[in-house]
Chains A and B, each alone.
Chain A
Amino acid sequence: MMPKKILFSLFLAGVITYPEISFANDSPELEELRALVQELNQKVKVLERKGELAEEDSAKAKKETPVVKASSNGFSFSSADGQNEIKFRGIVQADHRNYFDGANDVRGRTNNRAGSLNPATGFHDAEDSSLLRRVRPTIEGKVAGKYGFRFTPDFGNGNATVVDAYVEAYLAPEFNIRAGKFKSFVGLERLQSAADTKFIERSYVTNAILPNRDLGFSVYGDVLGKKLNYAVGIVNGVADGGNIATGTEFNGEREYTARLFTTPFLDQANALSGLGFGLGATYTDFTGERNLDFTNTSAADATRNGLPSYVTEGQNTFFRYGSAAVADGKRFRISPQAYYYFGPFGVLAEYARVDQNVSLLTTATGNDSTIVRAGTNKKLSHDAWEIAASYLLTGEDASFKGVKPNRDFDLDKGGWGAWELVARYSEINLDSDTFKNQAGQYAAEGTAITSAYADLTKSAKSAKSWVAGVNWYLNQNAKISLNYAHTSFDGGALAKGLPQATNNNASGSNVRDREDENALLARFQVAF
């Protein structure tokens, strides 16, 4: 074997070479290779730099490119900085009402108007029906980061109405202004979105006593680290449960609304963090400001003469003021309210009382101007309360807002959505004086000093309901609900066997209780 040193010397001298590296000693080829490497190096660097510049351009473009979103939370497009935004949302509720027992609104009407008479009970049966309860597309948005708007029409129930139409200024978390037509900041259950309510229909507290939508403006905000929410407003004022039209006004006086609601343990991770309670109230006095020329009342039956009518869980009217009764004077509502959510369990409780001054007119409403009959003004006090509980069987957390299933309903993947059991008791009690005249005797409704404000043979004095049901949340947007509702009444119907035209008498002996209502209510809802 040749010594290593000799081999190395021969290698250096070029005697022994490796063919594959022979070019390394070839100067022109080396220069060529260097040039090639440099050229490739430049090309790579140029590509990298172009990539950098493209990224910079892309980052800049991203800051200016509008953001389009389509998700289960709705559809929206907004400016890149989020200061300007339009959202499209909507809710459709397809309902079915099936009555096992129960009467429709008879009010002494003839068989032709009130439907088929059940000879066994003597009542005109409530009619089963399918309906579109709510069909509400919504456009909402904001401009310049601080100013928002919402427009929601409703094509449900066979009508086309404007539900919400308002503008807002978000000046600070503690100070916002809303003006237009919107839900009055008063009732707890009313402020819960129609898509999120646990029951197919809201309770008497909400539907019968407290205001629905009104026209005016409110100032609202969150203080104390969002633990206290306040709202005060000045609005036109609507009858109990009323939903004001977009431009009408019963009287010239404003109604004042106020609400305080606190969630004192909001920022704590304990069993009380889901507790919230508060108080809402409204006040108005339109003595001397009333407009009594009711030349057209056909479109506002529920709020005729500034007074309400009340409906059952099955949405059948069980109480109406007589046509000569008119809201006349002060109206004060107060409503303590609370909710509590812990894990899958939730409970909501609310009470409402209304003190309403009423009078009788000298003639029934019609095309003639009317005046108040002296000596008929009286303060009537009605109240209602509810307690509702819910429990999510599938483990989701309950909340005031909607339910997002842990697993969406999907036959292929095996998800069954979220299932929730719900139960509620609620009742409404009307002032006995509603059905009595100035002498304190039961009487028929009418225009005379001896008349009552409502007739107990046509309108019930109280209604007590319990509801049990189940909600199936197929996903965040789709829900199927089934409620069984039982309602019993005190008064509200003509004693069996008496002619339909018969009214109440001083002893109240013409009265019997309205037939219990047993209704199965079903809903399929899609909301986004």
Chain B
Amino acid sequence: MKKTLLTLALFAAAQLASQQALAKEVTLLNVSYDPTRELYVDYNAVFSKYWQGKTGDTVKVSQSHGGSGKQARAVIDGLQADVATLALAYDVDQLSEKGKLIPKDWQKRLPNNSAPYTSTIVFLVRKGNPKHIKDWDDIVKPGVSVITPNPKTSGGARWNYLAALAYALKQNNGDEAKAKEFVGKLYKNVPVLDSGARGATTTFVERGIGDVLLAWENEAFLAQKELGAGKVEIVVPSLSILAEPPVTVVDKFAKKHNNEAVAKAYLDYLYSDEAQDIIGKNFYRPVSETAAKKYEAQFPKLNLVKIDETFGGWQKAQKTHFADGGIFDQIYQK
């Protein structure tokens, strides 16, 4: 018996030694949009532990954050991301169309159209809601100062814009001219355009500018609890939009860095129970049923429109509203 135990111990030690001898340190670059800093700090720690347990390799994940559109352009211009976790599918599409960095059908590679979490757009107002803002109609009134980033550079800003437009279309029975006029009024109330969502949060919370911030739901929760604790509160509009921030391996760079397997695992693991729980804790809406149920009470129930149904998908929405000379340019230049 002793001999068997000794043999097993030696075998285990040899296995461990061989694993350690072969273990390597892997560096991964995750290029993401503005408000995901805290989420990925938490997730990276969990994933590194998971990956080390599975392979013995140490993973160090570097993060890069900024406006989603800007981040996509940076990757196309040579920022060698192993994975991209951006705010909207159109920006990821650019990695395929303009950068030839990923296959065209990238969105089919992971569940839920490669979106491991969802979110939406809500209002953040000053404590006590001094301007009595309750819905979209209240923020287009004269004298209400609205903070939202630039849709040309920020994914969150595009979601903000489309959420407002969806509300206006519904209120005006699909009358596009009136809806456009509504959005025009909204942007007349915007005194400053930041390039990303985190910048807009800084403008509103830290610089004290504006009466209402159009914010990612997760960003609003974070601001309420940490960034501007005691100074701001969340207002949930009657209608908003379902935001599905997608993720993808940037095949060309991951292959170049010999990181294909770890990059794929990094994104696959976002759908695990452990990761979905972290997603919920960071105020993103989990896609797994278990985590969604666990955090159900945390998220307000509101009417959410989908971009595919209301605007014909991101390609069409981008071309119509955010391309140079598009509707946003027309209303903002007025």
Binding site for B on A (CB under 8 A): 42, 45-46, 48-50, 53, 56-57
Asked if A42 meets B145 with Cβ closer than 8 Å, knowing A49-B192, A53-B194, A53-B199, the reply is yes
In the complex, given contacts A53-B195, A53-B199, what are 8 additional A-B residue pairs having Cβ atoms less than 8 angstroms apart? Answer: A42-B145, A42-B191, A42-B210, A45-B208, A46-B209, A53-B194, A56-B195, A57-B195
Instruction: Please indicate which of the listed interface residues B145, B195, B208, B209 has the most CB atoms of chain A within 10 Å of its own CB.
Output: B209
CA distance A42 to B208 in the complex (A): 8
Q: B195, B199, B207: which contacts A45 (Cβ < 8 A)?
A: B207
Judge if B203 is at the interface, Cβ distance under 8 Å: yes
A354 to chain B, nearest CB (A): 53
| Interface set, chain B 96-118, CB cutoff 8 A to A | none
A49 to chain B, nearest CB (A): 5
B203 to chain A, nearest CB (A): 5
Q: Which residues of A contact B210 (CB under 8 A)?
A: 42
Instruction: Give B150's nearest chain A residue, CB to CB.
Output: A53
A42–B199 CB distance below 8 A: no
Interface of A, secondary structure class, is: helix
Binding site for A on B (CB under 8 A): 145, 191-192, 194-195, 199, 203, 207-210
Q: Which residues of A contact B192 (CB under 8 A)?
A: 46, 49-50, 53
B194–A45 CB distance below 8 A: no
CA distance A332 to B192 in the complex (A): 76
Q: Which residues of B contact A53 (CB under 8 A)?
A: 192, 194-195, 199
CA distance A45 to B147 in the complex (A): 13
Q: Which residues of A contact B199 (CB under 8 A)?
A: 53
CA distance A45 to B204 in the complex (A): 10
B227 to chain A, nearest CB (A): 16
A44 to chain B, nearest CB (A): 10
Q: Which residues of B contact A50 (CB under 8 A)?
A: 192
CA distance A387 to B195 in the complex (A): 67
A188 to chain B, nearest CB (A): 44
CA distance A56 to B209 in the complex (A): 18
CA distance A288 to B257 in the complex (A): 53
Instruction: Please indicate which of the listed interface residues A45, A49, A53, A57 has the most CB atoms of chain B within 10 Å of its own CB.
Output: A49
Instruction: Give B203's nearest chain A residue, CB to CB.
Output: A49
CA distance A427 to B195 in the complex (A): 73
A46–B191 CB distance below 8 A: yes
A83 to chain B, nearest CB (A): 12
B207–A49 CB distance below 8 A: yes
The list of the 9 closest CB pairs from A to B, nearest first, reads: A46-B191, A45-B209, A49-B192, A49-B207, A46-B192, A49-B203, A50-B192, A45-B207, A46-B209
A48–B207 CB distance below 8 A: yes
A62 to chain B, nearest CB (A): 16
Q: Which residues of B contact A45 (CB under 8 A)?
A: 207-209
Q: Which residues of B contact A42 (CB under 8 A)?
A: 145, 191, 209-210
CA distance A50 to B193 in the complex (A): 8
CA distance A46 to B191 in the complex (A): 7
CA distance A50 to B210 in the complex (A): 13
B81 to chain A, nearest CB (A): 19
Instruction: Give A43's nearest chain B residue, CB to CB.
Output: B191
Instruction: Give B211's nearest chain A residue, CB to CB.
Output: A42
CA distance A49 to B192 in the complex (A): 8
Instruction: Give B130's nearest chain A residue, CB to CB.
Output: A38
Can you list 18 residue pairs at the A/B interface with Cβ under 8 Å?
Answer: A42-B145, A42-B191, A42-B210, A45-B207, A45-B208, A45-B209, A46-B191, A46-B192, A46-B209, A49-B203, A49-B207, A49-B209, A50-B192, A53-B192, A53-B194, A53-B195, A56-B195, A57-B195
CA distance A45 to B191 in the complex (A): 10
Q: Which residues of A contact B191 (CB under 8 A)?
A: 42, 46
Instruction: Give A50's nearest chain B residue, CB to CB.
Output: B192
Instruction: Give A48's nearest chain B residue, CB to CB.
Output: B207
CA distance A57 to B153 in the complex (A): 13
B210 to chain A, nearest CB (A): 8
Q: Which residues of B contact A48 (CB under 8 A)?
A: 207
A60 to chain B, nearest CB (A): 9
B103 to chain A, nearest CB (A): 29
CA distance A49 to B194 in the complex (A): 9
Q: Which residues of B contact A57 (CB under 8 A)?
A: 195
A84 to chain B, nearest CB (A): 14
CA distance A57 to B191 in the complex (A): 17
Q: Which residues of A contact B195 (CB under 8 A)?
A: 53, 56-57
A42 to chain B, nearest CB (A): 6
CA distance A156 to B209 in the complex (A): 68
B205 to chain A, nearest CB (A): 12
CA distance A56 to B208 in the complex (A): 19
Q: Which residues of A contact B209 (CB under 8 A)?
A: 42, 45-46, 49
CA distance A444 to B192 in the complex (A): 94
B3 to chain A, nearest CB (A): 57
Q: Which residues of A contact B145 (CB under 8 A)?
A: 42
Instruction: Give B77's nearest chain A residue, CB to CB.
Output: A64
CA distance A331 to B296 in the complex (A): 90
Q: Which residues of B contact A46 (CB under 8 A)?
A: 191-192, 209
B25 to chain A, nearest CB (A): 25
A57 to chain B, nearest CB (A): 8
CA distance A49 to B200 in the complex (A): 10
A65 to chain B, nearest CB (A): 15
CA distance A48 to B208 in the complex (A): 11
Instruction: Give B209's nearest chain A residue, CB to CB.
Output: A45
Instruction: Give A52's nearest chain B residue, CB to CB.
Output: B207
CA distance A339 to B57 in the complex (A): 57
CA distance A40 to B235 in the complex (A): 26
B71 to chain A, nearest CB (A): 13
B139 to chain A, nearest CB (A): 15
B328 to chain A, nearest CB (A): 18
B150 to chain A, nearest CB (A): 10
A34 to chain B, nearest CB (A): 12
CA distance A46 to B208 in the complex (A): 9
A48 to chain B, nearest CB (A): 7
CA distance A53 to B153 in the complex (A): 14
CA distance A42 to B199 in the complex (A): 17
CA distance A179 to B209 in the complex (A): 61
B76 to chain A, nearest CB (A): 15
CA distance A49 to B210 in the complex (A): 12
Instruction: Give A35's nearest chain B residue, CB to CB.
Output: B143
Q: Which residues of B contact A56 (CB under 8 A)?
A: 195
B6 to chain A, nearest CB (A): 52
Instruction: Give A44's nearest chain B residue, CB to CB.
Output: B209
CA distance A50 to B209 in the complex (A): 11
Instruction: Give B70's nearest chain A residue, CB to CB.
Output: A60
B238 to chain A, nearest CB (A): 27
CA distance A155 to B152 in the complex (A): 54
